[in-house]
A and B are shown apart, each in its own frame.
Chain A
């Protein structure tokens, strides 16, 4: 027993080192392909979900939104802002006044949300400025400029084109808030692919003072960007302890339709991952079964010269473990070395988001472990069969 335990390692090492290099390479490549197949779809769905969540944060809400407690505007805005800024986990904030406005251009008109902002503050929280489809972002003192989302401007492939203004950069759009109206020049059109965000327009605080001077300093929404990895629940608790007068929401609370979409993707991911796991198990079984079946005669010889069946089975478990560990390692290398960088450079352009591939460490470990475990289990089945068959049949390779 003391000496025989090393025989499986001896045999496995010799078979791997001196067997057919083509078979070895092909088997490892197949394992790598199975692993990539198992993580690719999941990574894509995670990418879509993460991308959608990032859209909500970067195009609309930041990490936290504060709205009035039953009032139409936030009272004592400056006090609220200074209390928020005392929290060290806050990176930036933008106070906004969000209103319903009737926008008209020629015969086209519609009611959309318009936000009065300080463009520089907004830049520090949302990334609308990065999503300019045409034109340019607003300057702080631009009293005539308006930035409109592509669902308002309209255009080819736009979901709500039929209801849009069919506006271009430079067009003069009439903005009506309550009973006051004024013309603004379209400075830029942004397109984030996040429909809710693209159905909004932005003017500066200076511009607001031109159309509704009484509301120039009013704020009914503060959006906040937290530092990376900050715990949002802790921040909200801190706000409550500071008696900040307002209702607090995280970006998840505000995700709306996007939340249903992302949850649907996660459910589909579970279903497809289960199917992919079954396909992985069958593929690995076929690969290992063919490999071991081709060695049937050799196994018969080993039995004939007195090698115990458990030693033979252990040999093939070691070989299968090697195939799967190296296959998974190659798969990781290909996935992170080629596939992920490629899709970062060329994201999947989907109607709701430009998605890259994202794998959580837990998902990654589970899938790698699954491949290795499946390989071990499926190597046991054919090696059990061959070590239990009649010795003469095994020797003759029957």
Chain B
């Protein structure tokens, strides 16, 4: 069994992709424990398997083998619907490309995941608060194309927080941002981590490592 304070526990997971006839082992029997409140940065070269690992523990993909525990519950054998429920309630996921809905403004993008379980009059004020928290008080009704990359990423962070998840996964969230915007986004992550959120983030940048409470490096599908 996983330790009590491990919010994520990964046991011997493997992931193999098929590229035509060629099989690529992206993850090779990886085991990893992440404690509640940690700010973990996963680093490594391109093709080392870090994004693959994040997608497995972020429940966007299934490993070929191994087990994943989130908040004590085993995930790999869960049905799609139950996985979606866990993803919806316990996980916030931030993509490198922001992944916002272009026709929705900042408030609407943020409150959308909460609209499944709450009336608009409840989730809308919360969305506004979250946008204010990430520094977008002046951009509430702007649509993605009316905002800079950094602002869009902050909207994505606010959206990931709308259901008050324990864990935030971020896949190279600053990769498309200039250094000032990247700094703004990382400050938001730091603030969230200080409030108790567990953050698992992929990063290439050395200067970002200072925000982490722990860093792991992947190479050829293994943790070094």
Contacts and interface: CB of A to CB of B under 8 A. Distances in A.
Interface in A176-212: none
Interface string A366-398: 000000000000000000000000111001000
A395 B100 CA distance: 11
Contact of B93 (A4, A304, A308): A304
Nearest to A298: B101
B103 A14 contact: yes
A14 B144 CA distance: 14
Nearest to A17: B103
A307 B112 contact: yes
B204 interface: no
A301 B159 CA distance: 12
**Interface secondary structure of A, over-half rule:** helix
Kindly state the interface size class of chain A when it binds its partner. Answer: 20 to 34
Contact of A305 (B61, B103, B119, B159): B159
Contact of B60 (A11, A302, A395): A395
A395 B99 contact: yes
A390 B55 CA distance: 12
Contacts of B93: 304-305
A19 interface: yes
Given A304-B99, A392-B55, A6 B60 contact: no
B70 to A, nearest CB: 15
**Interface secondary structure of B, over-half rule:** loop
Nearest to B159: A305
A3 B115 contact: yes
Contact of A7 (B60, B95, B115): B115
Nearest to B115: A7
A3 B116 contact: yes
A10 B112 CA distance: 9
Given A10-B115, A304-B99, 17 more contacts: A3-B115, A7-B112, A7-B116, A14-B108, A18-B103, A298-B102, A301-B99, A302-B101, A305-B88, A305-B159, A306-B113, A306-B116, A306-B163, A307-B113, A308-B116, A311-B116, A392-B55
21 contacts: A4-B115, A4-B116, A4-B117, A7-B116, A11-B101, A18-B143, A298-B101, A301-B95, A301-B99, A301-B100, A304-B60, A304-B95, A305-B88, A305-B159, A308-B116, A390-B61, A392-B55, A392-B60, A395-B60, A395-B95, A395-B99
Nearest to A303: B84
What are the 7 tightest A-B residue pairs by CB atom distance, in nearest-first order? A306-B88, A18-B103, A301-B99, A14-B103, A4-B116, A305-B113, A15-B103
B118 interface: yes
Interface of B: 55, 60-61, 84, 87-88, 93, 95, 99-104, 108, 112-113, 115-119, 143, 159, 163
Give the interface centre of A302, A306, A390 by most chain B CB atoms within 10 Å. A306
Nearest to B87: A306
Contacts of B108: 10, 14
Contacts of B61: 390-392
Nearest to B118: A3
Nearest to B111: A10
A390 B100 CA distance: 19
Contact of B116 (A11, A307, A390, A395): A307
B119 A3 contact: yes
B101 to A, nearest CB: 6
Contacts of B119: 3
Given A307-B112, A391-B60, A391-B61, A3 B117 contact: yes
Contact of A301 (B84, B88, B101, B115): B101
A60 to B, nearest CB: 63
Nearest to B160: A305
A393 to B, nearest CB: 10
Contacts of A301: 95, 99-101
B29 to A, nearest CB: 22
A10 B111 CA distance: 12
Nearest to B123: A3
Nearest to B89: A306
Contacts of A7: 112, 115-116
A19 B87 CA distance: 28
Interface in A131-185: none
Contacts of A390: 61
Interface string A296-323: 0010011011111001000000000000
A305 B60 contact: no
A391 B84 CA distance: 11
A306 B84 contact: yes
B223 to A, nearest CB: 22
A359 B71 CA distance: 66
Nearest to A19: B103
A275 B115 CA distance: 44
A265 to B, nearest CB: 48
Contacts of A304: 60, 87, 93, 95, 99
A3 B93 CA distance: 23
A311 B88 CA distance: 15
Nearest to A2: B119
Nearest to B117: A3
